[in-house]
Amino acid sequence: NAVIGIVGGGQLGRMSAIAAAQLGFRTHVLAATQDEPAVQVSHSATIGSHSDPATLRAFAEAVDVVTFEFENVSADGLDLLSSIRPVRPSGAILRISQDRAQEKTFLGSVDVDVAPWRLVTDEASLHEVAEALGYPFILKTTRLGYDGKGQRRVMKPEDLVAAFDALEPKPLVAEGMIDFGMEVSVMVARGVHGTVRCFDVTENRHVNGILDLSLAPARLDPEVAQNAQDMARRIAEGLDLVGLLGVEMFVGRDGRLLVNEIAPRPHNSGHWTMDACPVDQFAMHVRAVTGLPLPEPVRHSDAVMKNLIGPDDMALWPEIIAAPRLIPHLYGKAQARPGRKMGHVNVIFPRGSLPGEFGVEAALKPLAPG
Ligand code: ATP
Ligand code: MG
Ligand code: MG
C-alpha cells in the first residue's frame, strides 16, 4: 500500500497519520526527534533536519507522495523533494504561504480582499508606511510567525521604532488594524482532478494571539457564509491546489470579508470536523493528496472545539476525562510549556442547535478554571 510522507512531526501530522491509517495507507514522518507527536502514530520515520539535503533525500525515497504539516521548508529543500516524488500541495504553494507579502499579492490576483498593507524593508520605509496606513496598525514579519508570535501592534508614533526593532527576520509587512465583528475560517480541499470541497465556515476566537475556541457553523448570514466559501474556492483554484488548505478571514461589521492568511495543510480551526463530519479535514487531506474520491463534506452535528494550551489547561485533565460530553484529543507531548498546544476537546450538539454564549460555556464547564 502507498506510503504517505509527512514533513513535520507535530500534531497536524499525527492526526493526518491516524486518518491515513484508517484509509489503509502507511505514513512515514520526517521529524527532528523520535518522540514527536506524529512519529508516535506512524509506521516509520526519518529522524533528522528538514534543512539537510541527505535527510530530505532519504525521506523522499522512502515514500510515494510527500505532504506537509509544517510549512517552513527552504526553497532548495522543496525543489529537492519535488525532484524525487510528487509534492502535494506543491512547493510553489508553500512558497507563497511562507511569505506574507507574496501571499497578499497572490490573494489580490484572485480578486480576494485583504487588509490594507505595505512592505516595510527599512526604517525609512517604516515612517512612510506609518503615514500612509495611519495608527493603529500591525507590524508582522513576512516569514516564520505563528500563534501571534512575530507581530506587534503599533498604537502610536512613539511605539513605531521599538516595534520595528523587535521583529526579526526583516522585511516586515504593515497591516491596517481591522475592526472585525468576527474571525472565521474555511477549510477547502481540492483533488488531483480539480474537485473542490469546502467545509462549513468556522467561527474562531483567539486569546493572546492563540486560537482558543472554534464554533461550527459560524453564526453568519447565509450569504456571507457562501461568499467565504466562494473565496476559498477561488484561492484553491488559483493556486492549483492538490490537498487541503485553511483560509483565515475577518468578517467586517458590514459582512465584508478580508482574508488574513492561508495555510496549505490541515488547520487548528478545522479540528471540530473530527467529531462532526464523517469525512473530517484530515481524511479529506489524505484523500486529496492520494487521489481518492473527495465526498461532499457532511456536517452531521454542530460543534465547539476548545484548545488545551500549556500546563494550566492540562491541570484540568482529570475533570476533562471524567466529563461525559467532552471528546478529548491529546497530542502526546511530554512537556506542557506555557502557550504550547497539548490537545483539544470537541463538544458536539444536534445539527441546528449550536447554543448561544451560555450554552457554550455550560458545555465547556469542566474546562472553566476554579
Ligand atoms: P497563526 O498562524 O497561528 O494563525 P500568526 O502568528 O500567523 O497566527 P495572524 O493569523 O496573522 O498571526 O494573526 C493572529 C491574530 O491576530 C489573528 O487571528 C487576529 O485575531 C489578530 N490580527 C492579525 N492581523 C490583524 C489585523 N490586521 N487586524 C486586526 N487583528 C489582527
Ligand atoms: Mg499564520
Ligand atoms: Mg493566523
Give the DSSP per-residue string, 181-208: EEEEEEEEEE-TT--EEEPPPEEEEEET
User: Counting ligands in written order, which one lies closest to the CA of residue 97?
Assistant: 2
Q: Is 252 annotated as a binding residue?
A: no
Ligand nearest to the CA of 104: 1
Ligand 1 atom at minimal distance to the Cα of residue 177:
28
pLDDT score recorded for residue 145: 86
Task: Kindly state if the Cβ of 115 falls inside 6 Å of ligand 1.
Answer: yes
260, 307, 341: which to mutate for ligand 1, most atoms within 8 A of CB?
Answer: 260
C-alpha of residue 246 to centroid of ligand 2, in Å? 10
pLDDT of residue 260: 97
Which pLDDT score, from 0 to 100, does residue 300 have? 98
The ipTM of this complex is 0.98
Domain ranges of the chain: 3-87, 116-176, 180-367
Say yes or no: do domains 116-176 and 180-367 share a fold.
no
> What's residue 71's pLDDT?
87
Please list, in sequence order, all residues whose beta carbon lies within 8 angstroms of the beta carbon of residue 107, skipping any fewer than 6 positions away: 113, 114, 235, 259, 262
Degrees, nearest 5: CA angle 79-83-85: 115
Omega within 30 of 0 (cis) for the link into 311: no
Ligand 1 centroid–CA 183 distance in Å is: 10
- Residue 141's DSSP bridge partners are 172
Is there an atom of ligand 1 within 6 Å of 147 CB?
yes
Contact by Cβ (8 Å): 15, 274: yes
- Nearest atom (ligand 1) to Cα of 263: 2
- Between CA 93 and CA 35 the distance in angstroms is 29
- Ligand 1 atom closest to the Cα of residue 146 is 6
**Is residue 261 within 6 Å of ligand 1 at its C-beta?**
yes
333 CA to middle of ligand 2, Å? Answer: 22
CATH 3.30.70.100 fits 116-176, yes or no: no
Question: What pLDDT sits at residue 357?
Answer: 77
CATH number assigned to the domain with residue range 3-87, chosen from the 4 options 3.40.50.300, 3.40.50.20, 1.20.140.10, 3.40.640.10 = 3.40.50.20
Whether the model pTM is above 0.90: yes
Best CA proximity match to 21, nearest among 44, 45, 41: 41
* Torsion sign, CA atoms 203, 208, 211, 213: negative
Enumerate residues with CB within 5 Å of ligand 2 (an ion): 261
Which pLDDT score is estimated for 370? 54
- The rounded average pLDDT for each run of 10 residues, N- to C-terminus, in the chain (370 residues) is 95 98 98 97 97 97 97 91 97 96 97 96 91 94 90 93 92 95 98 98 94 96 98 98 98 96 98 98 98 98 96 94 95 95 96 84 78
**Distance separating alpha carbons of residues 258 and 112, to the nearest angstrom:** 7
Known binding residue 140? Answer is: yes
Q: Is 352 left (phi over 0), alpha (psi -120 to 50) or beta?
A: left
Q: What is the pLDDT of residue 335?
A: 93
- Is 180-367 a CATH 3.30.470.20 domain? yes
State in Å: Cα 169 to ligand 3 middle: 18
Instruction: Please identify, by atom number, the ligand 1 atom nearest to the C-alpha of residue 145.
Output: 6
**175 Cβ inside 6 Å of ligand 1:** yes
Task: Indicate whether residue 209 lines ligand 1 (CB < 6 A).
Answer: yes
The upper half-sphere exposure of residue 89, i.e. CA atoms within 13 Å in the direction of its Cβ, equals 30
Q: Is 149 annotated as a binding residue?
A: yes
pLDDT at 356: 81
